[in-house]
Structure 1
Amino acid sequence: MGANGHLVQARGLVKRFGDLEAVRGIDVEVRRGEAFGFLGPNGAGKSSTMRMIGCVSPRSGGELEVLGMDPDRDGPKIRSRLGVVPQQDMLDFELTVRQNLHVYGRYFGLSRAQVRAKAVELLDFTQLTERAEDDVEPLSGGMKRRLTIARSLINDPELLLLDEPTTGLDPQARHLLWDRLFRLKQSGVTLILTTHYMDEAEQLCDRLVILDRGVIVAEGSPAELIGRYSTREVLELRFDPGEQDGAATVVADLGDRTEALPDRLLVYTSDGEAALAAAHAKGVRPLSSLVRRSTLEDVFLRLTGRSLVD
């Protein structure tokens, strides 16, 4: 760990692939015990940064310290204290759920007795005990993801790296995974995750950075970012295709700013109900309307002018 209590410190971190600069000189600090997020669209540099922190991809420039060590010199030592959940589940489909944990644990030099005990604990934690003797292949996507997380914890890591942990999962599976990750953080494991799901970042992260085209465009807690870059409430006005253009000029002065999306207008305001009443008074008749609190999606639209999943 760094002298100031940071598990990860990066200064001017750069990653190049030939002429492409995927990560363009970013500064990052991750504190012990927090959940830290990299939020951004596909191609923003999230996975490249995670691979450098995970000591599987050398940096092209800048400084990087992980667990108080330099990945260039101490990669194997660092990796022995990390847990990694990659974007794709890399499970052994020829083995059972329990055997996947046993085999992986042996890679870390754990004794058979240690591995057996740890597997029982992790199967219970990830709610897979009843599937322990089942083959992996027929499992649902959510169960495979939970097994991947269980496997990543076999060595009691201090730092857990999760790359797009819930991509492709249904809402129920996502929420169960969020609950497991929250419990891990409560137990003292430091989490670093990448995601392009804004609700996931808002739910899990104590702090996050928003990456866009390899640079950090904002940093802070979800609440800080929403307070800094958005308004307290947002009024959503939905229209038939093509009918919102005329309404856009009418509602332009009803909030701090407006945003036009393909199927709706967003009015950013401190009082959504008052803005809706004013829109009605001006003769605006949307198909439907909704007043909601601001989210990280609104922050991203403000900063980049496009959706995270472009």
Structure 2
Amino acid sequence: MRRRRALLTALPAALLLALLPSGATAYPNPGLVTGDVVVHDPTMIKTADGRYVLYSTHGGLEARTSTDRTHFTRAGSAFTGLPSWWSEYSPERDPWAPDISYHNGAYWMYYAVSSFGSNHSAIGLAKSSTGLPGSWSDRGIVYRTSTSDNHNAIDPNLFVDDDGSWWLSFGSYWTGIKMIRLDPATGNRHSDRTVHSLATRPDAPHAVEAPQIVKRDGYYYLFASYDRCCAGADSTYKIKAGRASSPTGPYTDRNGARMMDGGGTPVLETHGRYIGPGGQSVLKDSDGHVLVYHYYDRDDNGTPKLGINLLGWNGGWPTAY
């Protein structure tokens, strides 16, 4: 599988697209993964020693490691002790949707604490010198929302621009995906208190969440998960994307539709046994951009599992293969 992926990445994007069948069947199956792959909302990084470390929702942010991006082994959790402040937002102190990255000589992880269907939520920050499970030091709350707010502080993603500015995108349902500026020195909120709006849906219940921003060839790409998550084989999750010339938007899809008006170019949708792909992150690896996500396995009682695919950039638009 790795050899096949390497050969495909060497092909021109137009030829690569031509090799794929048309219509819904064009969506690729997940690449081969083995081991402990029952995950939700995965985020993954490659450490300096070449190891892959993946974190996911639940269990103090569950951790898995891999040496080849194929076989994953359960490796404890990010946190060995659960911060007390979590209980205000989650009685079970159960964190969601981590986002890991490496900047300024340290690993940074943003994550959400909330309860299903509520926007009484908070985004926390943790740091580590190694990125390994059990090594994380919690730095407290970066951003929070209450039931009086019109948005939801979950599903965070840190984006660091070429000019050194730090941005945090986040959001779920309500009025959609938001973005705030962060202070690079601390990882906390910047003195610029503007809350930017990046994407929403015109139709109730405004089902868009889980943003991820990637910069490539001068464009900022916003990936997001649309429709219904967390319902096993009944999930309707799908991954869409838009792009902009600024991190704060406006983001438009391939047809020019604004993501603030419900637009979004499909990247990956339900096909065959692979139901509701979403909760995605994007890793830049030595063989290109890697789309990391969960899906629900129709042939295994809707169990959430890890999906990994490479991304091509057909005509400047992300294509999973």
TM-score by length of 1: 0.26
Q: Which has the higher contact order (CA 8 A, sep 6+)?
A: 1
More helix by share: 1
**Which structure is larger by alpha-carbon Rg, 1 or 2?**
1
